[in-house]
Amino acid sequence: MSVKTDVAASESKRLRRKIELVLPELIGASRRLVDDPRIAELYPEYLFTLHCVIRASVPLMEAAREQARKLAKEDPVCEILAPYLDEHIPEEREHDDWLLEDLELLGEDRSSVSVRPPSPTVAAAVGAQYYWILHYHPVALLGYIALLEGYPPSIELVDELVDRTGHNRGAFRTLIAHAELDPGHRDELDAVLDRLPVTREQSTAMGLSAIYSVQTLARAIDELRDGFAEPE
């Protein structure tokens, strides 16, 4: 594998630049959701979609950590990646339970969430990460993490959602928590990215992971709206 030669920017800035080229697609889908006149009814569906994504976060990182540990003795990227995941995995545990609690406040049955199939689009977003982890290199997962933790909802957006839906603010606990926690997680990840001696190809893979995640998650939000059946 060839060593990258672009030294004009740090690895974190290179990755963020790639994400921000396509981020308007995800921002636009989110805006369409918030502006939808059915947002009060759509919000529980959005939380279900978010739960389908977030409940896979720790298993994905555990899979990446396992691969990184296997390769760490001979791979300097994995030598740094594995300890980062050791630290970050506990920080992400039980966030899916937060979403279940939010859904319960909205009158949803917790048990119904686990038996309801996720959309194929969400499965594709998560499944692609397993492919890159197991069949390319676990560092690719950092593109996915960089997206999910790098661009959390603002408190202002949460306030707007509370106002537009009329729901109890307690049902927005997960969004509020990520608005508060994710900026710190983003900084931690960027520091790790800037230490990684990634090759040009590995840098490209992280970018592809992030870009594909933007596209699939934006599509999942639009599909949520398009497929929603209003109560009769």
For the stretch 54-88, pLDDT in tens is 999 999 999 999 999 999 999 999 999 999 999 99
What domain range is 65 assigned to?
Answer: 24-226
pLDDT per residue over 6-35, tens digit each?
456 899 999 999 999 999 999 999 999 999
* Helix/strand/coil (H/E/C) assignment for every residue in 73-95: CCCHHHHHHHHHHHHHHHHHCCH
* Radius of gyration, CA atoms only, the chain: 18
Ramachandran region of residue 166, left (φ > 0), alpha (ψ -120 to 50) or beta? left
pLDDT per residue over 143-172, tens digit each?
999 999 999 999 999 999 999 999 999 999
Flag whether 10 is in a domain. Answer: no
Which CATH number is 127's domain given? 1.20.910.10
Return all residues near 97 (Cβ < 8 A) that are at least 6 apart. none
pLDDT per residue over 119-149, tens digit each?
999 999 999 999 999 999 999 999 999 999 9
Instruction: For residues 75 and 143, give the distance between their C-alpha atoms in angstroms, rounded to a whole number.
Output: 19
Flag whether 183 is in a domain. Answer: yes
Question: Of the candidates 122, 224, 97, 108, which has an alpha carbon nearest to the alpha carbon of residue 173?
Answer: 97
Please state, rounded to an integer, the average pLDDT across all residues of the chain: 93
Return all residues near 51 (Cβ < 8 A) that are at least 6 apart. 96, 99, 100, 103, 113
Flag whether 7 is in a domain. Answer: no
User: Is 1's pLDDT higher than 50?
Assistant: no
Amino acid at 94: E
Flag whether 102 is in a domain. Answer: yes
pLDDT per residue over 182-207, tens digit each?
889 999 999 999 999 999 999 999 99
Flag whether 232 is in a domain. Answer: no
Instruction: For residues 162 and 103, give the distance between their C-alpha atoms in angstroms, rounded to a whole number.
Output: 14
What would the two tokens of residue 76 be?
């300097």
Amino acid at 87: E
Q: What is the pLDDT of residue 212?
A: 98
Flag whether 9 is in a domain. Answer: no
User: Is 3's pLDDT higher than 60?
Assistant: no
* CB of 129 closer than 8 Å to CB of 209: yes
Instruction: For residues 107 and 41, give the distance between their C-alpha atoms in angstroms, rounded to a whole number.
Output: 12
Flag whether 2 is in a domain. Answer: no
Flag whether 18 is in a domain. Answer: no
The total number of structural domains in the chain stands at 1
Return all residues near 161 (Cβ < 8 A) that are at least 6 apart. 34, 39, 43, 172, 175
Return all residues near 59 (Cβ < 8 A) that are at least 6 apart. none
Please tell me the pTM assigned to this model. 0.92
Q: What is the pLDDT of residue 227?
A: 84
